[in-house]
Amino acid sequence: MSNYMKVSFEDAPRVELHEKLGLTGAEISCNTLPAGSSVPFVHSHKQNEEVYYILSGSGKAVIDGKEVNLIQGDWVRISPKAKRQFFAAQDNPISYICIQVKENSLEGFTQTDAIIK
The letter for the amino acid at 111 is: Q
pLDDT on residue 34: 96
Our count of domains for the chain comes to: 1
Considering the domain boundaries, does residue 18 fall inside one?
no
Considering the domain boundaries, does residue 114 fall inside one?
no
Q: What is the residue range of 37's domain?
A: 26-104
- The string of pLDDT tens digits covering residues 61-85 is 999 999 999 999 999 999 999 999 9
Beta bridge partners of 28: 99
Nearest-angstrom CA–CA distance, 47 and 101: 8
Nearest-angstrom CA–CA distance, 91 and 79: 29
Considering the domain boundaries, does residue 112 fall inside one?
no
Nearest-angstrom CA–CA distance, 5 and 22: 8
64: domain CATH number is 2.60.120.10
- The string of pLDDT tens digits covering residues 6-22 is 888 777 888 888 888 88
**CA 104 remoteness from chain centre:** 17
Nearest-angstrom CA–CA distance, 67 and 18: 29
To the question of pTM greater than 0.95 for the whole model, the response is no
Q: Are strands 75-78 and 94-102 parallel, antiparallel or unpaired?
A: unpaired
Considering the domain boundaries, does residue 70 fall inside one?
yes
Considering the domain boundaries, does residue 61 fall inside one?
yes
Considering the domain boundaries, does residue 50 fall inside one?
yes
Q: Are strands 66-71 and 48-63 parallel, antiparallel or unpaired?
A: antiparallel
